[in-house]
Every structure is written in structure tokens, then in C-alpha cells.
């Protein structure tokens, strides 16, 4: 049975979200259409903010209607995330108090932090707290609040109220999307409130994210590019794009 363009595009989005990326040649074979038809579908989906085209394929974009779970993030772009996390941990400097955001990359940052010196870590993430709880030199402050099941992180006024009482040396922040026009964005207003308050409470802020985050825009804006001291991503973000972000203030590190 021949699928309509809408049915094809729905299949493509579902495949991208299921596997983390799709390939033009594979899709053409599976859908029984020409590669150019798939490329047209991907262009249409990118215009609607559902995928981001890559060389030979596309990756899903987290939007206001779609947010990946922590379990999914732990299987997507893992080598890239490990490189980013290691580079981000090296920016710790003389910080004694650190906020570590929810998400898989921040969890990897937490695991990469030095264990040979005292460090106080504030987090809304149950996974981050669990990873650091066994470290002798780490004091972990887990922010209370409503736990979101997909990300295993706390939100709402309990969480933000605790953050208002802190002065934090460095915040490691993630986002669903980062763009020069709209800054850092996330689908859920409650999540955005926690991230915004963490940035306000911190002297320095470092954004970490894989290359697919760049150019993506979600529903709730919680920070501008100029609020960041540094952006840590991978060399899969083209150098000209990285330079355009650097022009707005932060150091951009590609690893």
C-alpha cells in the first residue's frame, strides 16, 4: 500500500525518535520511495521543527510536544556526550559549590568531577545525586519537589525556593534546544523555572550539549547566550556556527 506524504512523514518522525537518527537510503528502501522523496519529507519535517537534517539523514528535535526520557538519552550520541562531559569537568577551576542539571550529559559530568577534593553538589536530578552519593569528598544537596517520571528530576516551587537560598560557584546547564535567536529553551515551564533559578544563583554558567541541540527551539526560554561563560559541544558542530555563538559572549569549546 502506498503511503501518503503525511503518513510517510509520521513514520519518519517515529523512526527518528525510536532510534535517535534516520538514514535517507534506509528510509527510501523501507518506505518504497525514491531518495529524493525522502529528502523532501525531511525538508518539510525540518521546517515544522520535528527533525534536524544531517549529512545523509536526520535526527529528532525535542519540541514542545516531544521530550525524550533519561533512559533514551543514555543510548543516544553516547561517545559524543562522554567527550563533552570530560571537557566540561575540566572547567571546574577552583569552584567549591556546583549545580549539576538533570539529563544524561550532566550525569556524565558529575561522574567526571574530581574526587580528591571537597565539593558540594546541588542537583534536582535523582540520577546525579545517586552517582555522587558514594563519593567520600562530595556533599550532595538534592533539591526537593515533584519528581518528573521521564527525567527523574524535581521541579515546581519547592525546588526553585531552595535554589534562592544558595550562592553557587558554577552551574552546568543543559537544554532541549539552543539557538542564537532564542537562547536556551526547554518544553516544560516547570523545568525552565528550575534552570533559570540555578543560573541566577550561580556565578558562572557552562552549557553542555550535543551538536543536534543547536538551532533547535522548544517552548520555554530560560536563558540567553550571553548568560553563559562557556558552551561545550563537539566538533560535529561546524566551526563557523560555533564562531557565531562565540560572538554573543561565551567561549565555545568543541571536543
CATH of the domain at 39: 1.10.10.10
Asked if residue 45 and residue 84 are part of one domain, the reply reads no
With a cut of 50, say whether residue 226 has pLDDT above it. Answer: yes
Question: How does pLDDT run across 192-210, given as a tens digit for each residue?
Answer: 999 999 999 999 999 999 9
Residue 65 lies in a domain: no
CATH code for position 239: 3.40.50.1360
Tell me how many domains the chain contains.
2
Residue 23, CA distances (Å) to 20, 31, 144, 148, 244 in order: 11, 12, 42, 32, 28
pTM (2 d.p.): 0.76
Average of per-residue pLDDT across 204-229: 93
Asked if residue 153 and residue 42 are part of one domain, the reply reads no
Asked if residue 74 and residue 54 are part of one domain, the reply reads no
Residue 190 lies in a domain: yes
531552595: which residue's cell?
A: 162
Residue 38 lies in a domain: yes
Number of H helices, E strands in the chain: 10, 15
Domain range for 80 is 70-254
> 65: pLDDT confidence band, cut at 50, 70 and 90?
very low
Question: How does pLDDT run across 121-162, given as a tens digit for each residue?
Answer: 999 999 999 999 999 999 999 999 999 988 899 999 999 999
Asked if residue 159 and residue 203 are part of one domain, the reply reads yes
Residue 150 lies in a domain: yes
Asked if residue 147 and residue 56 are part of one domain, the reply reads no
Amino acid at each position: 500500500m502506498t503511503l501518503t506524504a503525511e503518513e510517510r512523514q509520521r513514520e519518519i518522525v517515529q523512526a527518528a525518535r525510536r532510534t535517535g537518527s534516520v538514514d535517507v537510503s534506509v528510509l527510501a528502501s523501507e518506505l518504497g520511495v525514491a531518495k529524493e522523496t525522502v529528502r523532501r519529507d525531511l525538508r518539510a519535517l525540518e521546517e515544522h521543527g520535528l527533525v534536524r537534517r544531517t549529512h545523509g539523514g536526520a535526527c529528532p528535535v525535542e519540541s514542545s510536544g516531544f521530550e525524550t526520557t533519561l533512559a533514551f538519552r543514555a543510548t543516544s550520541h553516547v561517545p559524543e556526550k562522554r567527550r563533552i562531559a570530560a571537557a566540561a569537568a575540566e572547567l571546574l577551576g577552583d569552584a567549591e559549590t556546583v549545580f549539576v542539571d538533570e539529563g544524561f550529559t550532566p550525569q556524565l559530568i558529575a561522574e567526571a568531577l574530581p574526587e580528591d577534593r571537597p565539593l558540594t553538589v546541588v542537583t534536582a536530578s535523582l540520577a546525579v545525586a545517586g552517582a555522587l552519593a558514594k563519593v567520600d569528598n562530595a556533599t550532595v544537596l538534592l533539591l526537593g519537589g515533584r519528581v518528573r517520571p521521564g527525567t527523574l528530576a524535581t521541579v515546581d516551587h519547592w525546588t526553585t525556593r531552595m535554589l534562592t537560598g544558595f550562592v553557587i560557584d558554577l552551574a552546568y546547564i543543559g537544554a532541549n534546544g539552543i539557538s542564537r535567536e532564542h537562547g536556551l529553551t526547554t518544553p516544560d515551564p516547570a523545568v525552565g523555572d528550575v534552570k533559570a533559578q540555578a543560573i541566577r544563583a550561580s556565578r558562572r554558567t557552562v552549557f553542555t550539549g550535543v551538536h543536534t541541540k543547536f538551532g533547535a527551539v522548544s517552548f520555554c526560554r530560560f536563558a540567553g547566550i550571553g548568560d553563559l561563560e562557556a558552551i561545550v559541544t563537539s566538533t560535529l558542530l561546524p566551526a563557523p556556527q560555533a564562531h557565531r555563538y562565540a560572538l554573543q559572549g561565551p567561549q565555545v569549546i568543541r571536543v
